């Protein structure tokens, strides 16, 4: 019997949009039951309702414990390992949160973790990217053990709302939480701009931008078109922008409808992060830059000339 547990991420205010994308992936499993697990220090009705409204959810399970005020991988796994034995699959989005705890769970249960599911052929046969997204491999997982997997959200759109909300069941689970790992503080970049992972439009700057001061041209242009701002690893490594803005194999994997690559050459590790983007626009002064091979629209020119011209046209 295919019985799936989806671990639902939230920030204490809202359900993460990735949960509805994981449910889209789950629809390919033809599962008999799909539960969404939400962990809280204090349950938040709005989050529970949002999960119950997602199409394909059989039950929303809630667990309350002080440890989930700031959930750490070690605490999440302590809970999961106490409750997953009745499930055939445990799935989570390939966000930082999911990638943090899923390998721990797999190790504790003595099973293999499967990363970045991007197509489901059957409950144990999947496609996933390899070689920085340059090849897609079809894999078969053992069907006689728990399957722990992360879902490549950029490959899935969110499922819609269910006509009938799923029932909500608070769970009483007795768990001994670990004390060797504890939460100290959270340091997060704050920005009024749209979220890079989920924005429909993204403007990324690369080494060609030249400095953190020059990055103002990228921010200005992004603000005019209401876009999130990303960057190449070279721009991050040079200290132009913080690490959380990196797009690519070792950064964020995104799927905006419209992506601007400005002063970015188009290395495969960068392209791995924008494989599922809709329209890619490249602005580069080198007409031989590899980014033009994959761009839908290319502008050969100096970004400091081209961006102000584009802004003028857009403002008109």
Ligand X SMILES: Cc1cc2nc3c(=O)[nH]c(=O)nc-3n(C[C@H](O)[C@H](O)[C@H](O)COP(=O)(O)OP(=O)(O)OC[C@H]3O[C@@H](n4cnc5c(N)ncnc54)[C@H](O)[C@@H]3O)c2cc1C
Q: Which stretch binds ligand X (CB under 6 A): 12-20, 55-63, 137-145, 248-256?
A: 248-256
Q: Name the H helices within the chain.
A: 18-26, 45-52, 73-83, 96-109, 216-225, 233-237, 268-271, 291-294, 303-315
Q: Which stretch binds ligand X (CB under 6 A): 1-9, 95-103, 184-192, 200-208?
A: 200-208
Q: Please state the closest distance from residue 299 (CB atom) to ligand X, in A.
A: 9
Residue 129 near ligand X by CB under 6 A = no
Closer of 128 and 270 to ligand X (Cβ): 270
Closer of 71 and 205 to ligand X (Cβ): 205
In total, the chain counts a number of residues equal to: 316
CA dihedral (263, 268, 274, 278) positive or negative: positive
Encoded one letter per residue, x for contact with ligand X by CB under 6 A and - for no contact, window 269-298 reads: xx--x---------xxxx--x---------
Q: Is residue 98 a contact partner of residue 7, using CB atoms and an 8 Å limit?
A: yes
Nearest-angstrom CA–CA distance, 115 and 46: 30
Residue 21 near ligand X by CB under 6 A = no
Residue-wise DSSP of 255-303: --SEEEEES----HHHHTTSTT-SEEEEEES-TT-THHHH-SEEEES-H
Interface with ligand X (CB under 6 A), residue from 202, 246, 254, 277: 246
Interface with ligand X (CB under 6 A), residue from 33, 165, 207, 244: 207
CA dihedral (279, 189, 96, 83) positive or negative: negative
Closer of 219 and 304 to ligand X (Cβ): 304
Residues near ligand X (CB under 6 A), total: 28
Q: Which residues bind ligand X (CB under 6 A)?
A: 206-208, 232-235, 246-251, 263-265, 267, 269-270, 273, 283-286, 289, 302-304
């Amino acid at each position: 019997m295919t019985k799936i547990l989806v671990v639902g991420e939230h920030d204490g205010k809202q359900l993460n949009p990735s949960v509805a994308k994981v449910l889209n992936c789950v629809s390919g499993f033809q599962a008999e039951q799909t539960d969404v697990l939400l962990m809280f220090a204090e349950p938040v009705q709005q989050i529970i309702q949002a999960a119950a409204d997602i199409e394909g959810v059989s039950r929303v399970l809630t667990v309350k414990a002080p440890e989930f005020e700031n959930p750490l991988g070690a605490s999440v796994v302590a809970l999961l390992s106490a409750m997953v034995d009745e499930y055939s699959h445990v799935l989570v989005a390939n966000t930082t949160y999911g990638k943090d705890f899923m390998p721990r769970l797999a190790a504790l249960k003595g099973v293999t973790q499967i990363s970045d599911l991007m197509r489901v052929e059957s409950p144990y046969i999947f496609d996933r990217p390899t070689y920085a997204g340059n090849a897609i491999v079809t894999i078969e997982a053992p069907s006689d053990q728990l399957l722990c997997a992360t879902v490549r959200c950029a490959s899935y759109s969110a499922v819609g709302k269910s006509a009938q909300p799923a029932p909500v069941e608070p769970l009483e689970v007795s768990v001994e939480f670990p004390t060797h790992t504890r939460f100290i503080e959270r340091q997060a970049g704050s920005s009024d701009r749209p979220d890079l992972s989920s924005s429909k439009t993204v403007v990324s700057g690369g080494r060609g931008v030249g400095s953190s001061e020059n990055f103002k041209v990228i921010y200005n242009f992004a603000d005019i078109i209401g876009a999130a701002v990303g960057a190449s690893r070279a721009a991050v490594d040079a200290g132009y922008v913080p690490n959380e803005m990196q797009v690519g194999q070792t950064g964020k994997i995104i799927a905006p409808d419209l992506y601007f690559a400005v002063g970015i050459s188009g290395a495969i590790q960068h392209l791995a992060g924008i494989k599922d983007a809709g329209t890619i626009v490249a602005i580069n002064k080198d007409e031989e830059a590899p980014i033009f091979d994959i761009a839908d629209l290319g502008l050969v020119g100096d970004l400091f000339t081209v961006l102000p011209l584009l802004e003028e046209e857009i403002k008109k």
